[in-house]
């Protein structure tokens, strides 16, 4: 029971990775408040999570839009009233946004994707920080993705917002370094979720031939199991990761299960962070 007596809030928890995270948390003893925008899907997810919960763990569900200040404020009120505290915040809610060239896509849809992915993440952190500060060791986990570390043509709102989420997480980690709150971002891997189905439905004309074909191969291979990302979230929510903060961690490629052996290196270097590459690091004799 790595998360016994802990209270967690997971956004975007009605399906996919968010559901897997909530499911993993309750199995480790945490009480969880699930939130998402779709009531029917959310209630079904909550019932399944409830059935998997460890003895004593509570599971609540509440519809909310993370881009709405009123909705997020209401979630904070519910959390404080029902649980009296919050130990773990997982900001998972996100969308791909419009698909296509920047001069062609709907500006309102592009802006809405930024509002959900980036502003929703920042808003949740801002609103829940007072509760997290009361925890013995607060934990914030932000969900990033491939868009944070490489260009994603024709998915510019997604790529820009996810890169911004990671830099925000690194910045917030520095703001909170003396507060006992750890902030980390994770890249969960190539998941076969509704976002993949959106890409395939849009077709190569909207998302580009290369990305479309890669998505087809991902669907055929089965992709990365959401449970792998959930396992990393359990690790980052537990005391095993205390003091590890300000990092972008790959659930698939990084040796996070062994991070305790490298805690000093993680705390005192810029490994697993966004950074600029200069010519000398690529063997170029100029610059």
Q: Which residues are identified as catalytic?
A: 158
Distance CA 29, CA 48 (A): 15
**Best CA proximity match to 57, nearest among 33, 75, 31:** 31
Give percent helix, percent strand, percent coil of the chain, each to the nearest 5.
50, 15, 35
Supply the Cα-derived Rg of the chain in whole angstroms: 19
Token duo for residue 91: 């900001």
Residue 274's CB is within 10 A of a number of other CB atoms, namely 15
Distance CA 149, CA 128 (A): 27
**Three-state secondary-structure class, residue 74:** helix
Q: Which residues are 282's β-sheet partners?
A: none
């Amino acid at each position: 029971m790595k998360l016994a007596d802990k209270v967690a809030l997971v956004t975007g928890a009605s399906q996919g990775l968010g559901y897997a995270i909530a499911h993993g948390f309750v199995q480790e003893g945490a009480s969880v408040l699930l939130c998402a925008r779709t009531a029917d899907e959310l209630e079904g997810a909550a019932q399944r999570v409830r059935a998997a919960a460890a003895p004593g763990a509570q599971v609540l569900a509440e519809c909310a839009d993370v881009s709405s200040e009123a909705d997020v404020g209401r979630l904070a009120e519910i959390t404080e009233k029902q649980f009296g505290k919050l130990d773990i915040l997982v900001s998972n809610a996100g969308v791909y946004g419009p698909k296509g060239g920047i001069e062609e896509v709907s500006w309102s849809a592009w802006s809405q994707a930024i509002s959900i992915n980036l502003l929703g993440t920042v808003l949740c952190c801002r609103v829940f920080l007072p509760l997290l500060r009361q925890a013995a060791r607060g934990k914030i986990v932000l969900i990033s993705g491939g868009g944070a570390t490489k260009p994603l043509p024709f998915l510019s709102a997604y790529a820009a917002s996810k890169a911004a989420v990671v830099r925000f997480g690194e910045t917030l980690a520095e703001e909170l370094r003396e507060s006992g709150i750890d902030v980390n971002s994770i890249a969960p891997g190539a998941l076969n979720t509704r976002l993949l189905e959106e890409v395939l439905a849009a077709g190569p004309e909207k998302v580009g031939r290369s990305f479309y074909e890669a998505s087809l191969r991902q669907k055929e291979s089965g992709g990365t199991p959401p449970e792998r990302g959930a396992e990393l979230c359990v690790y980052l929510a537990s005391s095993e990761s205390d003091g590890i903060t300000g990092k972008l961690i790959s659930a698939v490629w990084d040796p996070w299960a062994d991070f305790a052996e490298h805690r000093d290196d993680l705390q005192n270097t810029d490994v697993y962070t966004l950074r600029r590459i200069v010519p000398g690091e690529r063997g170029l004799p100029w610059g």
